[in-house]
């Protein structure tokens, strides 16, 4: 009997490649199984509802971050934009009304994202430096505007949206999933999406093909800033307050979730479907550790290990793509 070792090798290599490309669903399944066995409270309807809602805030940030990272860039300012947009959306309500203030908060996020994109596109500086500076500057503006105190909602009609549930699923979680699915369609079915991948994969080839690189980067940074504002406003609707430290280090959680989902730090590869998986894996880990009364420092250590794992997977995926 003859064994086709070549065919077996190709099958094995294909299975390994598939596993690397779809690792997030394996991680999510393992995390759910482990915490289901470790805590009788994990798989309850209320807790699953909490996981979906808690994950949605990082998830909405991750939608914008995925677009920016596929472009080969990064945005470290999303947490600060979230805080400023939230402060404006609550702080301006007495002067201009609830919903005009919400609109102003959304526009502020879009404007700050647009500014990040313009500076990155036209200055020649890497977005890491641009958005790091934006993070520091915008966070300072938040403290100036709030006077370092939390701003409290006065008109509680503002909080009603966040209290809507469809069964066990909050409208906040539904907002995340709708946004993720919409931008998955943008990535796969529009010219902007296709050219975003092309820019991240090979910026010189994209330039030679006549793609307007600056325009695409500005658009994606603007979307990212807008998503930060959406996440912040939904968070303040749920809490009824705007904290000056809102969103602090959330840019790190967002990057972890996006990279866990397989989006490459070097650009050119990513998926909103897998970003959803990365967000939910992160949410399950954080929720499960808290159900087990894990000390905060242990949670931070676990998340640090997860970040390193995500970066290693990014390196493996990048090397596999280059090998082909």
Give the Cβ contact number of residue 303 at 10 Å: 17
Q: Does residue 245 lie within any of the structural domains? A: yes
CA distances from 187 to 203, 208, 243 (A): 17, 21, 34
Q: Is the dihedral of CA 57, 145, 118, 222 positive or negative?
A: positive
Does the reported pTM lie above 0.85? yes
Please tell me the predicted confidence (pLDDT) of residue 22: 72
> Tokens for 40?
């009788």
Q: Does residue 23 lie within any of the structural domains? A: no
Q: Does residue 22 lie within any of the structural domains? A: no
Please tell me the predicted confidence (pLDDT) of residue 320: 61
Please tell me the predicted confidence (pLDDT) of residue 72: 92
Q: Does residue 54 lie within any of the structural domains? A: yes
Pairing mode, strands 151-152 and 241-242: antiparallel
Please tell me the predicted confidence (pLDDT) of residue 54: 93
Number of domains present in the structure of the chain:
1
CA distances from 209 to 118, 198, 213 (A): 22, 10, 10
Q: Does residue 239 lie within any of the structural domains? A: yes
Residue 69, domain CATH: 1.10.3470
CA dihedral of residues 71, 73, 79, 81 (deg, nearest 10): -80
Please tell me the predicted confidence (pLDDT) of residue 314: 66
Q: Does residue 6 lie within any of the structural domains? A: no
Q: What is the pLDDT along the chain (324 residues), one digit of tens a residue?
A: 454 655 555 555 555 566 666 778 888 999 999 999 999 999 999 999 999 999 999 999 999 999 999 999 999 999 999 999 999 999 999 888 889 999 999 999 999 999 999 999 999 899 999 999 999 999 999 999 998 888 998 888 888 888 899 988 999 999 999 999 999 999 999 999 999 999 999 999 999 999 999 999 999 999 999 999 999 999 999 998 999 899 888 998 999 899 888 888 888 888 999 999 999 999 999 999 999 988 888 888 887 887 787 777 767 766 665 555
Please tell me the predicted confidence (pLDDT) of residue 20: 61
Q: Does residue 12 lie within any of the structural domains? A: no
Q: Does residue 8 lie within any of the structural domains? A: no
Q: Is the dihedral of CA 141, 142, 144, 148 positive or negative?
A: negative
Distance of CA 153 to the CA centre of its chain: 26
Q: State which residues form the domain around 82.
A: 45-323
């Amino acid at each position: 009997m003859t064994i086709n070792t070549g065919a077996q090798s190709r099958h094995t290599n294909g299975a390994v490649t598939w596993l690397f490309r779809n690792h997030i669903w394996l991680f999510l399944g393992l995390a759910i199984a482990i915490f289901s066995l470790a805590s009788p409270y994990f798989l309850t309807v209320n807790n699953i509802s909490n996981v979906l809602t808690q994950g949605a805030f990082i998830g909405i940030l991750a939608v914008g971050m995925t677009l920016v990272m596929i472009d080969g860039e990064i945005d470290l300012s999303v947490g600060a934009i979230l805080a400023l947009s939230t402060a404006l959306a609550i702080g301006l309500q007495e002067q201009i009304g609830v919903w005009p203030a919400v609109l102003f908060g959304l526009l502020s996020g879009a404007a700050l994202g647009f500014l990040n994109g313009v500076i990155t596109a036209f200055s020649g500086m890497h977005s890491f430096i641009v958005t790091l500076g934006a993070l520091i500057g915008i966070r300072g503006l938040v403290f100036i505007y709030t006077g370092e105190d939390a701003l409290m909602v006065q008109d509680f009609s503002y909080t009603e949206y966040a209290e809507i549930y469809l069964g066990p699923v909050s409208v906040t979680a539904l907002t995340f999933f709708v946004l993720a699915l919409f931008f998955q369609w943008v990535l796969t079915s529009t010219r902007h999406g296709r050219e975003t991948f092309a820019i991240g994969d090979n910026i010189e080839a994209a330039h030679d093909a006549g793609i307007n690189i600056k325009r695409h980067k500005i658009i994606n940074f603007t979307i990212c800033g807008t998503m930060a504002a959406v996440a912040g406003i939904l968070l303040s609707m749920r809490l009824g307050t705007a904290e000056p430290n809102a969103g602090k280090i959330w840019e790190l959680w967002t990057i972890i979730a996006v990279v866990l989902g397989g989006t490459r730090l070097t650009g050119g590869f990513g998926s909103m479907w897998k970003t959803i998986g990365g967000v939910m894996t992160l949410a399950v880990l954080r929720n499960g550790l808290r159900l087990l009364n894990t000390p905060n420092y242990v949670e931070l250590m676990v998340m640090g290990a997860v970040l390193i794992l995500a970066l290693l997977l990014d390196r493996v995926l990048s090397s596999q793509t280059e090998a082909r």
